């Protein structure tokens, strides 16, 4: 029987999503408790792999169980054994051909930037930027990122394809806090953090907004940017 679960976690207390032999990860923790529940080994497949330090409110995973347990009881049992940095919000039964990664319609990521006095308590949950940023310029630059493109210049590592679709990029500013929300089909390694870094380069006045469009169709960065830290990134929603 196949199930899909909605999982939230504090990425600052984990070594990313993908299982590792010597470190605590989201996938590793989920598989550990599910194997105890199922009495045999359970493998978990996620909608995507978040890096170390990246948070999630609605990561989706699927897994198969041999035992017949009510959905609500599965979530309850998992939460009783999971590390407190991870919480299963909901578990639902799905068709046996469902796949948490391949069936995704879109994902929503949010990146948080704080401009103002440094707060060590919030350091793991936002990116403290030391100077002002022009939201107007960043919005203008973001328009060049929308649509279907090859995002190779914004992706770390090698892939067969870098093509994806960004449906929207929205900005909110409130009391020195800036949030940038990305809605798209697929997000590759460091892609959101690199997009944020490029937008910050524009917002800080180092690069003109129109230069953003020159980043497409090339393996090399047309202009340099710094990858934004993992602390400010959160996977907000995965939709099927």
| Nearest in space to 158 (alpha carbons), one of 189, 127, 179 | 189
29 within 8 A of 83, measured Cβ to Cβ: yes
127 exposed, middle or buried (CB, 10 Å; 0-12, 13-18, 19+)?
Answer: buried
139 within 8 A of 209, measured Cβ to Cβ: no
Residue 160 CA to residue 24 CA, distance in Å, equals 29
Q: Kindly list the catalytic residues.
A: 51
Mapped onto helix, strand or coil, the DSSP state of residue 89 is: strand
């Amino acid at each position: 029987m196949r199930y899909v679960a909605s999982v939230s976690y504090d990425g600052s207390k984990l070594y990313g999503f993908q299982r590792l032999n010597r470190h605590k990860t989201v996938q590793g923790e989920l598989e550990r408790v599910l194997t105890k529940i199922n009495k045999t080994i359970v493998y978990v497949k996620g909608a995507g792999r978040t890096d170390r330090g990246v948070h999630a409110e609605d990561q989706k995973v699927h897994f198969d169980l041999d035992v017949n347990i009510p959905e609500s009881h599965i979530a309850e049992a998992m939460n009783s054994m999971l590390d407190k940095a991870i919480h299963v919000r909901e578990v639902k039964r799905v068709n046996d051909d469902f796949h948490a990664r391949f069936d995704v319609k879109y994902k929503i990521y949010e990146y948080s930037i704080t401009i103002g006095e440094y707060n060590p308590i919030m350091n793991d949950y936002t990116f403290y930027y030391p100077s002002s940023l022009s939201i107007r310029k960043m919005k203008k630059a973001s328009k060049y990122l929308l649509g279907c493109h090859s995002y190779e210049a914004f992706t770390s590592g090698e892939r067969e394809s870098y093509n994806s679709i960004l449906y929207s990029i929205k900005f909110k500013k409130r009391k020195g806090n800036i949030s940038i929300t990305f809605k798209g089909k697929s997000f590759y390694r460091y892609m959101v953090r690199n997009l944020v870094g490029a937008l910050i380069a524009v917002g800080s006045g180092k690069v003109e907004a129109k230069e953003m469009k020159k980043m497409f169709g090339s393996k090399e960065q047309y202009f340099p940017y710094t990858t934004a830290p993992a602390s400010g990134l959160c996977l907000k929603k995965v939709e099927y």
